[in-house]
Structure 1
Amino acid sequence: MANIAVAKFGGTSVATHQAMSRCAAIIKAKSTRTLVVVSAPAGVTNHLVSLSQPGLDLQEQSETIQAIRTIVFNIIDDLSQRDAAEQIGDQVENILADLTVRAASQSLQFDAQNADSILACGEQMSSLVFAQVLNELDVPAQSFDVRRVMKTNSLYSKAVVDIEQVAQLTQSILAPLLDNQVVVTQGFIGQDGLGNTTTLGRGGSDYSAAILAEALVAENLEIWTDVEGIFTTDPRITAQAKSIPEISFGEAAEMATFGAKILHPATLIPAMRKNIPVFVGSSKAPEKGGTRIQQSVESSPTYRSIALRREQSLVTVRSPEMLHASGFLAKVFSILAKHELSVDLITTSEISVAMTFDNPTSNAQALITHEVVKELEQLCEVSVEHGLSLVAVIGNGLHAAKALGSSIFEKINDFNIRLICHGASANNICFLVPESDANSVVSQLHNTLFD
């Protein structure tokens, strides 16, 4: 499978015909066989999330579907080959017709499987259109339904990929198609053993691209977005953020895990397994370069970046039975495992345990449900706090860094810190702050550590 590249384009990169044309020019300039993975056009997924929730009336459904139609057909209307444009328009209308039926059903009662079918529509439409944009630049291309190879379990909204099956199917079905053309496929979506559409969760398009790169044993994986690589922090928070030319897999994995939206947390795992370099750049300005992520880098500074992950929930369980007792935590975690919940950070005292959960509102279903709390309350007192953000300082050797506390916390001692987690990793120190303080905390920390 030598001489293959996988290029993934995010929602802003495929938001308009002009944006898609820029991405197509990037692909045209390549000498490698290329698999393209696309997200839904910017704005479409938010509308689909609304349709995946119960409670919308018929007018709201109709207005939301019309908004999606407008975004997609604004791109189709700018295609120059009218016969092909009409064919794509018909295919998009079929997808929207199915979406209308599913949304009507979803408005009455939440159904997780139906929600995933709704959320998958954006990528399906995007891949159809982008393939034609490539064709109009004289780059032979075809759209490919990724569900033919991306096999998962039936854990809807956060499906787990069957890596071995994906590799086998990709090599037998998808790889041969790359010999004579660019193949455009969908990120974020898969298919379970029952033939139902699944989704891989927030940011799953990056992960899809990485899984396919691994299956193809690609020479490199490119993540094209709207920023020029990875920065020391989110440039929207502080103008002082600096670009990072290169970064190790370990550092990048920490950044992705703790909120750097430029990468999905699981994206790097497949790349690390096959040692596939990852490039992150801007589809708007590809000439400006970006960030290369690889196994070995020339420099390993103490402080590399500051990541921020919003929409965090803090769950605290408290019981005097914890004191000098064994097995209590096992009971708590058995309940969390039953509900497929993953703890991000954890701190303990004699009679209480505090745990953080990533609980984004963009998910079709909230993670910390009434049922989870009710089961925990059979063991202990439970409190749940929302409206928090996780700040992670990423670097190297932080577990042994001197004056770490004064370097980080002295500059933000006017803010309330809800939880601190340090020592388990040499690459990060994490803490929670109220969402309203998050930007100020990150900005002040960045000024201290990088300026």
Structure 2
Amino acid sequence: MLVLKFGGTSVGSSENIHKVIKIVSEISKKDRTVVVVSAYGGVTDLLLKAGMLASEKDDSFRNVLDEINERHQNSILDLKINNPEVIEKVNAHLHTLEELLKGIYYINELSSTTIDKLSAYGELLSSLLITEAFNVNGRFAVHKNATELIKTTKTSGKHQVDFAITTKEINYHFQNSTAAITIVPGFIASNNSNEITTLGRGGSDFSAAIIAAALQAKELQIWTDVSGMYTANPKLVKQARPIQSISYQEAMELSHFGAKVLYPPTILPVMEKCIPIVIKNTSKPEDVGTHIASESSGQNPIKGLSHIGDIALLTLEGSGMVGIPGISRRLFETLSNRGINIIMITQASSEHSICLGISEPDADLAKQLVDLEFENEIALHKIDPLTIEKDLAIIALVGESMKNHQGISGKMFQTLGKNNVNIRAIAQGASEKNISAVIKKDDVKKALNVLHERFFEDQRKQLNLFIAGVGNVGSKLLEQIKQQKSYLKEKLNINLRVVGITNSRKMLFSEDGISLKNWQESLAQSEETADMEQFIERTKKLNMRNSIFVDITASDLVAKRYASFLKSSIAVVACNKIACSANFESYQELKQLATKYNAPFLFETNVGAGLPIIDTLNNLIASGDEILKIQAVLSGSLNFVFNNFSKGESFHDVVKQAQAEGYTEPDPRIDLSGVDVARKILILARESGLILELDDVINRPFLTEKNLQSTDVAHFYNTLIEDDEHFQQLVEKAEAQHSQLKYVAQLIDGKPSVGLEIIPQGHPFYNLEGKDNIVVFYTKRYPEQPLIVKGAGAGGDVTASGLFSDIIRMRTY
């Protein structure tokens, strides 16, 4: 004998009912089959809604009743049912339902007994129609009302199954039945007076388990709309996958903590008889599903992650609790007497406090009750009034074999901590079947994803990018990411996704990742107008794991928001130099926040585009070396200008060429004034450990006073023409010495400076060509033969490459 249960989604349409008939037909060829069915999907909710409206004297209950009636009449047509006896029974049920709702309307009351009667009609109707659908399709099936099989008694105000009588009734019926297929409505039962009762949440699953246990069935199959129990909720964790094998205890733990595929009461009857449970997908019957038995298989000691939302944390504490017997009993009894269920308990070993997790809707009542119970102790200041924290959730890591593996809880809490998921309370039983933690409900999705990544995804790390600025450098970065996406997955175990992008006109978000094949068109067609404040807030609100904000702007507004990102554990990668060259206090705060919140702040491209200059400097210092002197050419723009400027050439024309080829900013004064280079040497000085401000950088300008005081770009170019003789003198002096002009940044004896220098032949800077940068480090380990970093220091490709390197580095954090 096999028992199969089909849920509301599995019988929610005529198409799905035909799938059920096909599945059962194949199985029943080999084994007698009991089929337990739920109400059509959504019908139970409609019944309860109609009852509530009727009890409130709201005539619109009739509209809901019409919807229920229409749903079942359409089912009769769709399933081609023409048996007058069945149609008459269906109509009789619908008529009785109508009379019941009218009665509720007239007496203005909806008792628990009436709710049972009302909600039973979903299964009564569906089971009749599904039975006849089998017969219409040539598969003989009989209908058996569950109220004649499952009997309940009332204990502590709740209906409890009387297993002795129920087992007797079930066995008697099936011993005297020869039907290959029996259809039974789930969820419903009856009491000793033959009044309809219900089995509560997950009642149809429970009905199937009760029947399977009574019949000593070979197997209980739960058919639903997913292919088994998943390692996490697939709606929240895209990478979640079905669990092939799991134990009864593990299944109960996952079910208790919110895995809605199966409800805990379902497991108990079959577990006692060692009857396996298999969870299968009605739409994909070929899928293996989840096998639940006494023992599970598989190497991973963690079987799944689950969570319960809408939790409130109650804390009772005070010095008067220490060593006083009965405090816990009084607390628990107070809540139990009013039907408040305790989901999680944790108590400090000092007995100074007890924390309880309960459903949030019960929190305010719980406080009133507990404060009243302990009013004497509170008045004497021995116990504090009960405190409540709301907007919380419980996440649980489940696995029966966790007790045999060291360090799992450490990995769990470390992973959450790295992603700024604050833990409010922890509970772990001695059996170590689950480790539970209370967190903010807004952090649930991120917490589940980072834990799933840590325990189930072969250490593949997902990095979620939010990119501000997709012009020249930004578009190059996106092209590089698209090109290397497969390589990163296969070789570095990184799943790199771009979740948000913005330019000066539009912004675009996609939680599943923006397609980089046509991101330009998608961004252009986006209905969201660019708003940097909104972009920043959306990035934070999404609260995704391993989030990285990439700043490819030159915006002071954006740079000022780095602290906000870091406090939200969102890493920052920036080629924008403003933050690191602002006042030292702000720079230091960002470094401290990055450490405190484990959110890296990387800015390699601030100096030398894609060259590993800052990284090299940091490695020298970290290894114990000491910086003696730094000399550098750090402006690809200025290097291009002076490499192309020679005697007789117009300095004006060379600068124009540099601007036209994209080597300078739209306003070339930013480059030629030396401010940009001053910012770069300041950053290197700070990374060397010096406390300096931008004003401490000595700037020896080569521009004339007239150039520096120009009012706009056009005026600036005019002053270059007017002062051309000044620039001719500079180049003539250098050529007379067989030397070259280079704009050099230096850090000597802790003092930074920038200025135009005459570089003789043989000097490392002499042959520096094009847009190349060079940095020479003199240290205690490299006092005479310096450490040199040299290469292209400007251009979209190399700057994007530097940003890409910083992003990839995030995999190690």
Partner residue of 2:14 out of 17, 23, 29: 17
Q: Does the CA contact (< 8 Å) of 2:213 and 2:273 recur in 1?
A: yes
Q: Which amino acid aligns with 1:33?
A: R
Aligned residues: 439
Among 329, 348, 371, the residue aligned to 1:377: 371
Give how far 1:236 is off.
1.5
Identify the range of structure 1 (198-207 vs 97-106) with the bigger mean alpha-carbon deviation.
Answer: 97-106
Contact 1:175 1:216 in 2 (8 A): no
Q: Deviations over 1:291-345 (max 9, x none)?
A: 1111234335221111122343434444554222001211222233434444221
In 1: Cα distance, 2:319 partner to 2:165 partner: 48
Give distance in 2, aligned partners of 1:151 and 1:299: 39
297-306 vs 372-381, which moves further = 372-381
Distance 1:47 1:132 in 2: 24
- Report the more deviating stretch, 413-422 or 52-61: 52-61
Q: Take 2:399 and 2:155, find their aligned partners in 1: how far apart are those partners?
A: 34
AA matched with 1:134: F
Give runs of aligned pairs for residues 281-430 of structure 1, distance below 5 A.
Answer: 281-318=280-317, 320-349=319-348, 350-357=351-358, 370=365, 374-380=368-374, 381-384=385-388, 386-399=390-403, 401-413=405-417, 414-430=420-436
Deviation at 1:399, TM superposition (A): 4.0
The answer (yes or no) to whether the contact 1:302–1:398 under 8 Å persists in 2 is yes
Deviation at 1:431, TM superposition (A): 1.6
CA 1:27–1:99: 2 relative to 1, 3 Å: farther
Mapped to 1, the partners of 2:130 and 2:325 lie a distance apart of 57
Q: Secondary structure at the match of 1:154?
A: strand
- 1:192 and 2:186 correspond: no
Judged with a 3 Å threshold, the aligned counterparts in structure 2 of structure 1 residues 102 and 188 are, in CA distance, closer, same or farther, namely farther
Cα distance in 2 for partners of 1:331, 1:163 equals 33
**Residue deviations 1:337-374 (CA, integer Å, cap 9, x gap):** 43444422101243432222357xxxxxx76684x654
Q: 1:88 to 1:110 in 2, by over 3 A?
A: closer
Query: More deviation in 81-90 or 414-423?
Result: 81-90
* Percent identical residues: 28
Which residue in the other structure is 1:129 paired with? Answer: 129
The alpha-carbon distance between structure 1 residues 98 and 166, as it changes in their structure 2 partners (threshold 3 A), is: farther
Q: Would you say the 8 A contact 2:187–2:206 is kept in 1?
A: yes
Q: Which string of whole-angstrom CA distances, capped at 9 and with x for unpartnered residues, describes residues 119-142 of structure 1?
A: 222111111111111111222222
The superposition leaves residues 156-207 of structure 1 with CA deviations (integer Å, 9 ceiling, x where unpaired) of 9963211112111111235423x22422112222222343322222112111
C-alpha distance in 1, partners of 2:24/2:285? 11
Letter in 1 for 2:408: L
Match of 1:433 among 434, 439, 445: 439
Secondary structure at 1:237 match in 2: coil
Q: Which amino acid aligns with 2:431?
A: S
Report what 2:513 is aligned to. Answer: none
Pairwise CA distance, 1:449: 1.3
Matches of 2:321 and 2:90 in 1, distance apart?
62
Give the 3 Å change call, closer, same or farther, for CA 119–315 of structure 1 in structure 2. Answer: farther
Q: 1:298 to 1:347 in 2, by over 3 A?
A: closer
One-letter amino acid of the structure 2 residue matched with residue 16 of structure 1? S
Alignment match, 1:147: 147
Question: Is the alpha carbon distance of 1:69 and 1:237 closer, same or farther for their aligned partners in structure 2, counting shifts above 3 Å?
Answer: same
Inter-partner Cα distance in structure 1 for 2:195 and 2:290: 37
CA contact 2:308–2:395 (8 Å) conserved in 1: yes
Counterpart-to-counterpart distance in 1, 2:279 and 2:355: 35
Residue 242 to residue 404, structure 1, CA distance change in 2 (3 Å): same
Matches within 5 A, 1:167-246: 167-177=167-177, 179-246=178-245
Q: Structure 1 stretch 383-392 or stretch 142-151: which is displaced more?
A: 383-392
Q: Which residue does the alignment assign to 2:454?
A: 448
State the alpha-carbon separation in 1 of the partners of residues 61 and 217 from structure 2: 41
Distance 1:159 1:355, change over 3 A: farther
CA 1:103 to 1:356, structure 2 compared with 1: closer, same or farther past 3 Å?
farther
Contact 1:158/1:201 (8 A) holds in 2: no
Q: Provide the secondary structure at the position in 2 that maps to 1:185.
A: strand
The answer to whether the 8 A contact 2:104-2:110 is kept is: no
What is the match of residue 60 of structure 2? 60
Give, in angstroms, the shift of residue 23 of structure 1. Answer: 0.6
Unaligned runs of 5+ in 1: 360-365
Max Rg structure: 2
Q: Distance in 2 between matches of 1:437 and 1:99?
A: 45
- 2:278 & 2:414 partners in 1: Cα distance? 36
Shift of 1:282: 0.4
Partner Cα separation in structure 2 for residue 389 and residue 190 of structure 1: 34
Q: Distance in 2 between matches of 1:395 and 1:256?
A: 13
Report what 1:79 is aligned to: 79
Q: Give the AA of the match of 2:395.
A: V
The within-5 A match list for 1:44-123 is 44-53=43-52, 56-84=56-84, 86-101=87-102, 103-104=104-105, 108-123=108-123
8 Å CA contact 2:310–2:391 kept in 1: the answer is yes
Which secondary structure does the structure 2 equivalent of 1:100 belong to? helix
Assess if the C-alpha contact under 8 Å between 1:16 and 1:74 holds in 2.
Answer: no
Which segment drifts farther, 396-405 or 433-442? 396-405
Q: Deviations over 1:360-419 (max 9, x none)?
A: xxxxxx76684x654433223334555433211111343454333441122322123332
TM-score, scaled to structure 2: 0.51
**3-state SS of paired residue (1:47):** helix
Please state whether the residue corresponding to 1:11 is helix, strand or coil: coil
- Tell me: CA distance 1:447–1:140, structure 2 relative to 1, closer, same or farther (3 Å): same
Amino acid at match of 2:216: V
2:278 match = 279
How has the CA–CA distance of structure 1 residues 241 and 33 changed in structure 2, closer, same or farther, with 3 Å as cutoff?
same
Instruction: Give the conservation status (yes or no) of the 8 Å contact 2:90–2:128.
Output: no
**CA 174–357 in structure 1, closer or farther in 2 if over 3 Å, else same:** farther
Shift of 1:28: 0.8
Tell me, what secondary structure is at the counterpart of 2:234?
A: coil
Cα root mean square deviation, aligned: 2.6
Quote how far apart the aligned CAs of 1:218 are: 0.8
Shift of 1:214: 0.4
Are 1:225 and 1:280, in contact at CA under 8 Å, matched by a contact in 2?
yes
Contact 2:276 2:291 in 1 (8 A): yes
Post-superposition shift, 1:430?
1.0
Q: Is the 8 A contact 2:396 2:437 kept in 1?
A: yes
Taking structure 1 as the reference length, the TM-score comes to 0.89
Inter-CA distance 316–153: structure 2 relative to 1 (3 Å threshold): farther
Q: Which position in structure 1 is the counterpart of 2:24?
A: 27
Is the Cα contact below 8 Å between 1:158 and 1:200 reproduced in 2? no
Distance 1:109 1:436, change over 3 A: farther
The Cα offsets for residues 8-40 of structure 1, whole Å up to 9 and x where unpaired, read as 000100101111111111111122111111111
Q: Which amino acid in structure 2 is aligned with residue 378 of structure 1?
A: L
Once residues 396 and 335 of structure 2 are traced to their aligned partners in structure 1, the CA distance between those partners, rounded to angstroms, is: 24
One-letter code aligned to 1:189: I
Structure of greater relative contact order (alpha carbons < 8 Å, 6+ residues apart): 1
- Would the alpha carbon gap of residues 314 and 155 (structure 1) be closer, same or farther in structure 2, given more than 3 Å must change? farther
For residues 134 and 46 of structure 1, the distance between their equivalents in structure 2, rounded to whole angstroms, comes to 26
Please give the secondary structure, in 2, of the residue aligned with 1:67: helix
- Deviations along 1:244-267, whole A, 9 cap, x unmatched? 222222222221222111111111
